[in-house]
Chain A
Amino acid sequence: MAKYLAKRIFYLILTLFIVITVTFFLMKLLPGTPLTNQAKLSKSQIALIYEQYGLNKPVWQQYLLYLAGAVRGNFGTSFQFSDQPVSYLLSSRIGPSLQIGLQAMIFGVILGILVGSFGAMRQNTWVDTTATVVSILGISIPSFVLAVLLQYYLGLKLGWFPIAEWGGFIYTVLPTLALGATPLAESARFVRTEMVDVLSSDYIELAKAKGLSRTGVIYHHALRNSLIPLITIVGPLAVNIMTGSMVVENIFSIPGIGEQFVKSVLTNDYPTIMGLTIIYSFMLCVVLLFTDILYGIVDPRIRLTGKAN
């Protein structure tokens, strides 16, 4: 276990190193400079600004400096908001994003498990059909369409929830619903397939033959075994939520990192884009690592020595 963990953490660091390196050089390839539109600046002023941001040094020096900074959590200074270090800008914004992301994940997965297992239990009835329709719709409707619809109908027309801004829990409801739809659909689909498989297995027959109650069979035997593989789709779901959050945060004007990413992209704020790319891949790596470890703990049949898959 310790060896496996050490190996995985080594790969995590290697991955992050590659991500930092690649984004750094990609950013150097970008056309234009942050000062492209500032025609009024004289040559000496530009030189001064370049010096201030360290842009006058050779590329390899900038790279090493950036790498050294990134290790310490320093991603340079934002171009868009001068004087604001990227790390400060992002650390104040990561909270809302994490909250909404986690809420969406928990809401989606729990409801998905319910929908999926009800579908499997009442296979080929209207319950099952409804579950299938819900999951296929959740996968097919993009989260940003759902977000606008929710905002308009539940927020504006019915007035149940605030339509935008960021405050208490009530402000997180609509974005959570919008982001949670895909995890709900995916996990419902997944759980249903798994459970249909499990329900036809021998040990379920045995449990029934022993005279266990229906709920006992479902809860103790079927559900537990069908939920284990669900851990493997948490990683892809996290990606989905991160992707969705970029647009959904914009729609609900939530001061999160997704909204910042879009803003930075539109204003060529390279240091912030780089910082965000690194943060996104760091979060994803951590999620993947945790799910792999968890999978090994929950299901002893999986050996943690080699690859987790």
Chain B
Amino acid sequence: MADTVKLPEDSFKRINADDRAALDSEKIAAPSLTFAQDAWRRLKKNKGAWVSLIVLAIVFIMAFGSLVVSPHDPNAVHPSYANLPSKIPGININGFNGTLVQAGERIDAYKQAGASSKFYVMGTDYLGRDLFSRVLYGTRISLIIALVATLFDLTIGVTYGMFSGWKGGRIDTIMQRIIEIILSIPNLVVIVLLILILKPGMTSIIIAIALTSWTNMARLVRAQTMEIKEQEYILAARTLGERPMKIAFKHLLPNLSSVIIINTMFTIPNAIFFEATLSYIGIGISSPQASLGTLLNDGQKNFQFLPYQMWWPALVLSIIMLAFNLLGDGLRDAFDPRTKE
């Protein structure tokens, strides 16, 4: 006996356009992501980089927000409140409760100075200036110097690298020789020489760092440009008679962006380091202006007796450097999936 298969009648209905769309929605496919979205997704997965990004955001907001609201005036001098240790209200741990050891005894330094009602989160320096406000102020100056210098050396490096890689041949060789010569003098020596000529100050530090640190960027961009320049879409653009300038902006630059962004993340902490070193040596930012380097220098003088005056700026400086380095690492992995696992 042959069973007749009974199929439901509605299986044989005509599908109209609406139903077809409903069927398509059952397809399993990841949403298509652009390169940037993809990189962003990978970056968010990287814990270190993600935390760094948040830390940097907080540092930036605090450093630049202190322009508007600062706990104290970073330059207001109160000689009677000099060298007070750190005091955070509500926390009673030695080191954060405004006490310090004097002649073998732990005493409340705030009571002694007649400032029991006041509190300075990071303490005060030798002139009674609020260290927290000064650290915020110093961070701001350090960041401004690093960012502006990086912006300049990005411009120089990218232009130089693209030009050198694009032109190739003899021009490229000469341009690379120039880079090699610059690289054969330690950067800091050149920076010091330039600052001596330009007179110490913020502008000359920025110029000096910008003029010396672009070589790395230029090399990377050149190598990448030489690779991209052989691609078909560049050939197509050339065949269509596109001007080199337009090719550079429309085709080269977007494709170089990951190299540029990653390298920038490593240039910024370098610039911060150079600035701190210069200020530490004593040819950087001069008072009453302050940067993390000058704060470190001031703190180091009293480190034996008042270690917190150096610990705080050192901590902030290290955290900023750490965050930029981790973020740079994360971005490198995010932009280059091959390095992932």
Q: Does A33 contact B (CB under 8 A)?
A: no
Residues of A within 8 A of B283 (CB): 265-266
Residues of A within 8 A of B276 (CB): 142, 144
Residues of B within 8 A of A250 (CB): 281
Contact B325 A145 (CB under 8 A): no
Residues of A within 8 A of B100 (CB): none
Bin the interface of chain B by size: 35 or more
Bin the interface of chain A by size: 35 or more
If over half of B's interface residues share one DSSP class (helix, strand or loop), that class is named, otherwise mixed; here it is: helix
Q: Does A228 contact B (CB under 8 A)?
A: no
Cα A152 to Cα B326 with chains together (Å): 29
Contact A141 B318 (CB under 8 A): yes
Contact B184 A281 (CB under 8 A): yes
Contact B296 A242 (CB under 8 A): no
Contact B322 A140 (CB under 8 A): yes
Known: A11-B180, A142-B277, A262-B281. A243 touches B188 (CB 8 A): yes
Chain A 19-32 near chain B by CB (<8 Å), digits 1 or 0: 10001001001110
Q: Shortest beta-carbon distance, B186 to chain A, in Å?
A: 5
Contact B307 A141 (CB under 8 A): no
Residues of B within 8 A of A23 (CB): 193
Q: Does A204 contact B (CB under 8 A)?
A: no
Query: How many A-B pairs with Cβ below 8 Å?
Result: 107
Q: Does B280 contact A (CB under 8 A)?
A: yes
Stretch at the interface among A49-57, A65-73, A86-94, A272-280: A272-280
Known: A148-B310, A239-B187. A142 touches B321 (CB 8 A): yes
Contact B325 A140 (CB under 8 A): yes
Q: Does B300 contact A (CB under 8 A)?
A: yes
Among residues of B, the one whose C-beta sits closest to the C-beta of A276 is B189
Chain B 70-98 near chain A by CB (<8 Å), digits 1 or 0: 00000000000000000000000000000
Contact A144 B188 (CB under 8 A): no
Q: Shortest beta-carbon distance, A194 to chain B, in Å?
A: 13
Contact B193 A277 (CB under 8 A): yes
- Residue positions of B touching A, CB distance < 8 A: 176-177, 180-181, 183-189, 192-194, 196-197, 199, 269, 273, 276-277, 280-283, 296, 300, 303-304, 307, 310, 314, 317-318, 321-322, 325-326, 329
